[in-house]
Amino acid sequence: RLPVPPSMAGRSIAECDLRGRTGCNVVAVERAGDVQTNPDPHRPLGADEVLVLIGDAEAQDRFMERHVAAGAS
């Protein structure tokens, strides 16, 4: 579980190409306590949402480096 990083806010899961670029899959998106499983990959993500990701340790590291590290875009 991770808040939507600023580099992803306003962009869709498909646009970010998370699976291709990091190896992580988004299995759910949470907003205001409401969890949407199998989220629409074309809906823009809100800055106030939380991602539920799955992936191996290397995929998680790639996600963190790409989207959470200082200055990521």
pLDDT at 72: 55
* In the predicted structure, residue 70 carries a pLDDT above the cut 60: no
Report the predicted TM-score, pTM, of the whole model to 2 decimal places.
0.85
Per-residue pLDDT tens over the stretch 6-46: 999 999 999 999 999 999 999 999 999 999 999 999 999 99
Q: What are phi and psi of 3, to 5 degrees?
A: -55, 145
In 3D, which of 20, 6, 10 has the Cα closest to residue 44? 10
Residue type, 45: L
- Please state, in angstroms and rounded to a whole number, the distance separating the CA atoms of residues 32 and 37: 14
